[in-house]
């Protein structure tokens, strides 16, 4: 929930051959190491973590959650370092208050009843407006911000990205468990989040003015409480010169987050190339996009997915190859090709976060084992380390 917790500071507009900046927001859950249930320790944990991270750490909707933000980076190695440092400092702050930190799109185990919400006027307004909908959103995402030249280009790039939302959801799937059981979906967070009135794949926009007109109408009619309540999978930031891509579950490891960040930057760069070349974006049917997102949320990369271009089922590996082929020039331009190839190879070897969470559950059939696995892997050091170009 970017609008609730803030956004990466300091993005600068770029032009020409300069690499696009990339900044990342990560949302985490706090758990009791004994019961493995989520624990409402966010206020003291955030206060302690701010001694090291300042405003790069902040609140989310519930007291079970903490959000971190990175500065904008042009180099993936530097981004990996900051992502890992953020996790390490928040984990240490959590330990100081008897809690552990996990990176999962949904809580594995939770006490009964509505979650305790964080204080604040905006949270209170949201609770009054949306009621139980707020109570069902103990979900954690990874939001990627890419620096762009203008809001007009951001909106036009969004049009070109809509057809790739489903494959990004599948790659980032890391929320198969809820209330101690397997939901049957690789990304249950995606399904929970789709309940918001302005969520899921974004509409096709004719212009930035068209975007602003629609958002103003949603605010005026009370559908959303303000412009920050637009929770589409892709949206131009309302206060930063960035395009924000919000499709991903919280990445289990830094490597998982880094792969999504690299894929998103490559996709935005490829989309901007198409916009600047005057190439029209396909006006894909929104119902087909929604169906494709659901199938990706259910299956992850373990089964065939819907290809919005062909309107049929294709192997997930083919869709992944299609995305990589489309962004290959952009990856090369940013110096990311080898890194992405390595991370994609690791993904093929180990599976998505959803696959790994389920493997931990299957060992004994105990949901607590999945929590223990998450506690260990959330702090795994990135394989890229300081290998910079």
Is residue 311 pLDDT above 50, yes or no? yes
Task: Give yes or no for a contact between 149 and 12, defined as CB atoms under 8 angstroms apart.
Answer: no
C-alpha separations of 380 from 67, 103, 117, 252, 363 in Å:
18, 11, 29, 9, 21
Burial (CB < 10 A; 0-12, 13-18, 19+), residue 386, is exposed
SS3 84: helix
CATH code, 2-377 = 3.30.590.20
| Max intra-chain CA distance, the chain | 57
**Where exactly are the structural domains of the chain?**
2-377
Task: Give yes or no for a contact between 58 and 91, defined as CB atoms under 8 angstroms apart.
Answer: no
* Confidence class for position 11, pLDDT limits 50, 70, 90: low
HSE-CB for 200 with a 13 A CA cutoff: 20
CA angle at residue 82 from 79 to 84, to 5 degrees? 110
Q: How many angstroms separate the CA atoms of 364 and 309, rounded?
A: 42
Q: How many angstroms separate the CA atoms of 60 and 234, rounded?
A: 20
The 8-class DSSP code of residue 54 comes to: G
Is residue 387 pLDDT above 80, yes or no? no
- The residue-averaged pLDDT of 350-356 equals 98
Q: Which residues pair with 235 in a beta bridge?
A: 244
Buried residues in 178-200 as b, exposed as e (16+ CB within 10 A): bebebbebbbbbbbbbbebebbb
Strand ranges (E), 85-232: 100-102, 141-147, 177-178, 181-182, 199-200, 231-232
Beta 65-69 vs 22-31: how paired, if at all? antiparallel
Average pLDDT value for the chain: 92
Beta 181-182 vs 177-178: how paired, if at all? antiparallel
- The residue-averaged pLDDT of 309-335 equals 96
How high is the pLDDT of residue 149? 84
Q: How do residues 70-92 score in pLDDT, each as one tens digit?
A: 999 999 999 999 999 999 999 99
Is residue 321 pLDDT above 50, yes or no? yes
Is residue 348 pLDDT above 70, yes or no? yes
Burial (CB < 10 A; 0-12, 13-18, 19+), residue 218, is middle
Q: pTM of whole model > 0.75?
A: yes
- The percent of residues above 70 in pLDDT, for the chain, comes to 94
- Report residue 165 CA to chain centroid gap: 12
- The residue-averaged pLDDT of 156-180 equals 97
């Amino acid at each position: 929930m970017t609008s609730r917790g803030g956004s990466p500071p300091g993005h600068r507009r770029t032009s020409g051959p300069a690499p696009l900046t990339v900044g990342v927001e990560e949302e985490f859950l706090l758990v009791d190491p004994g019961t493995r249930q989520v624990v409402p320790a966010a206020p003291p944990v955030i206060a302690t973590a701010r001694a090291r991270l300042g405003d790069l750490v902040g609140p989310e909707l519930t007291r079970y959650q903490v959000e971190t933000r990175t500065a904008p980076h042009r180099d993936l190695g530097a981004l990996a370092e900051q992502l890992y440092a953020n996790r390490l400092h928040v984990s240490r702050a959590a330990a100081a208050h008897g809690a552990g930190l996990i990176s999962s799109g949904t809580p594995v185990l939770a006490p009964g009843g509505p979650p305790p919400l964080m204080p604040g006027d905006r949270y209170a307004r949201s609770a009054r407006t949306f009621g139980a909908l707020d109570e069902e959103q103990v979900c954690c995402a990874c939001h990627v911000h890419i620096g762009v030249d203008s809001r007009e280009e951001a909106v036009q790039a969004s049009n070109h990205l809509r057809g790739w939302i489903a494959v990004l959801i599948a790659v980032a799937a890391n929320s198969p468990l809820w209330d101690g059981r397997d939901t049957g979906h690789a990304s249950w967070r995606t399904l929970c989040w789709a309940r918001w009135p302005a969520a899921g794949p974004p509409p096709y926009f004719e212009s930035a003015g068209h975007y602003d007109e629609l958002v103003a109408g949603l605010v005026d009619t009370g559908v959303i409480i303000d412009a920050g309540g637009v929770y589409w999978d892709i949206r131009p930031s309302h206060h930063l010169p960035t395009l924000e891509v919000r499709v991903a579950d919280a990445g289990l490891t830094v490597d998982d987050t880094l792969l999504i960040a690299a894929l998103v930057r490559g996709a935005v760069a490829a989309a901007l190339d198409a916009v600047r070349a005057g190439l029209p974006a396909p006006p894909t049917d929104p119902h087909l996009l929604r169906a494709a997102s659901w199938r990706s949320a259910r299956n992850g990369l373990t089964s065939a997915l819907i290809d919005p271009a062909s309107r049929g089922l294709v192997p997930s590996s083919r869709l992944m190859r299609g995305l990589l082929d489309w962004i290959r020039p952009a990856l090369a331009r940013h110096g990311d090709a080898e890194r992405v190839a390595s991370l994609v190879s690791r993904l093929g070897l180990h599976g998505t976060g959803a696959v790994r969470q389920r493997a931990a559950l299957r060992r004994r059939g105990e949901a607590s084992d999945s929590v223990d696995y998450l506690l260990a892997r959330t702090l795994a050091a990135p394989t890229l380390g300081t290998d910079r170009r």
